[in-house]
Amino acid sequence: MRRTGPVKRTLTVVTLLMVALLAGCSSTIPVKVDAIAAKEPVADKHYRWFSGMDNVSLDDLYFQEFSRYFKASLKQQGYVESEAGDVALAIYFSYGVSPGRTVYYTTSTPIYDWFGGDTIIYVETKEEGGGQLSRTTSTVTTPVYRRMVGVDVDTRSYTLYTSFVVLEAKRYEPGKSPKEMKTLWKTTASTTTRSNDLRALMPALALAASSYLGVDTGEAKLVKIKKDDPRLEQLKRQINAP
């Protein structure tokens, strides 16, 4: 009996798809909006605009650009910006990006190998009459099959950033600090993605928060903004118009 070399092939399965939630790969920007307001209604919507950040002034170019998005939304809600000292509201605007947070994930890829496919040759010898020998040859091929022989483990990482904006409206009292003035409403919008480009994300933050300025949501709302939402381009054109 003779055995030929086995027909052997190795197949490695393609690595599993990455987690669909990996920010940056999604077609939407998830924005969490949390708005709270005092029971006292805001009758007079004339306001002055302030920076809520100690290290960022009104003359900062980024501050001016980001402010225009939210001033446009406030205007749609009936708010009117004024430089007069007798306005009813002082609105403080803040924004920022958190330090990156590294997230690790592991994919397990099964490794398979092929077995079988051997050809076994049987040779049978018989003695005939007169001392003559006869030989009979036959072959048998074993079935081909595949089985898992191991697991390939791959660990990778990505970084997440939380970008946020805060608008806080207070009853304006000249000469007093923000802490001394009564807060009438506060709206916070944030998104956690793989991008720390606040300029790119600001339109989505503004669009998500636009319906919740000066109101009380009762709880945090998740607003999903599609990256191809035509309202984003409309908002960009609006704030860049001369």
- Using DSSP, state whether 197 is helix, strand or coil: coil
Residue 6: DSSP 8-state: P
- The amino acid sitting at 154 is D
| CA-to-CA separations, 210 to 76, 97, 110, 179, 203, in angstroms, rounded | 9, 20, 48, 25, 10
Residues near 157 by beta carbon (within 8 Å), at least 6 away in sequence: 102, 103, 104, 105
Tell whether 39 and 129 lie within a shared domain: no
Mean pLDDT value across residues 115-138 = 79
Look up the domain containing 149 and give its range. 2-13+110-154
- Which of the residue ranges 12-16, 57-61, 71-75 would you say has the lowest mean pLDDT? 12-16
Query: Which pLDDT score, from 0 to 100, does residue 3 have?
Result: 44
Tell whether 128 and 189 lie within a shared domain: no
- R_g over Cα of the chain: 35
Mean pLDDT value across residues 18-28 = 54
Mean pLDDT of the chain: 85
Record the pTM.
0.72
Tell whether 134 and 195 lie within a shared domain: no
Tell whether 198 and 136 lie within a shared domain: no
Q: State the total domains in the chain.
A: 2
Whether 78 shows a pLDDT value over 80: the answer reads: yes
Length of the chain, please?
A: 242
Residues near 135 by beta carbon (within 8 Å), at least 6 away in sequence: 123, 124, 125, 126
Query: Phi and psi (nearest 5°) for 72?
Result: -65, -40
Residue 23 lies in a domain: no
Rounded to whole angstroms, the Cα distance separating 89 from 78 reads 13
Tell whether 95 and 181 lie within a shared domain: yes
User: Residue 42: how many CB atoms within 10 A of its CB?
Assistant: 17
Mean pLDDT value across residues 20-24 = 42
Residue 66 lies in a domain: yes
CB 159 within 8 A of CB 130: no
Residue 130 lies in a domain: yes
Locate tokens 């430089």: which residue?
83
Q: Which burial class, exposed, middle or buried, applies to 190 when counting CB atoms under 10 A from its CB (0-12, 13-18, 19+)?
A: buried
- Strand pairing of 80-81 and 221-226? unpaired
- Which of the residue ranges 49-58, 195-204, 232-241 would you say has the lowest mean pLDDT? 232-241
Query: Which pLDDT score, from 0 to 100, does residue 18 have?
Result: 39
Query: Which pLDDT score, from 0 to 100, does residue 9 have?
Result: 36
- Residue at which a domain ends, from 91, 124, 154: 154
Tell whether 201 and 161 lie within a shared domain: yes
* Tokens representing residue 152 in the block: 């390939």
Tell whether 67 and 99 lie within a shared domain: yes
Tell whether 189 and 202 lie within a shared domain: yes
Tell whether 58 and 98 lie within a shared domain: yes
- Which of the residue ranges 50-59, 84-93, 104-113, 115-124 would you say has the lowest mean pLDDT? 115-124
Per-residue confidence band for 145, with pLDDT thresholds at 50, 70 and 90: confident
Whether 132 shows a pLDDT value over 80: the answer reads: no
Residue 135 lies in a domain: yes
Tell whether 133 and 37 lie within a shared domain: no
CB 114 within 8 A of CB 6: no
Tell whether 162 and 87 lie within a shared domain: yes
Query: Which pLDDT score, from 0 to 100, does residue 242 have?
Result: 66
The CATH number of whichever domain residue 217 belongs to comes to 3.30.160.670
Residue 78 lies in a domain: yes
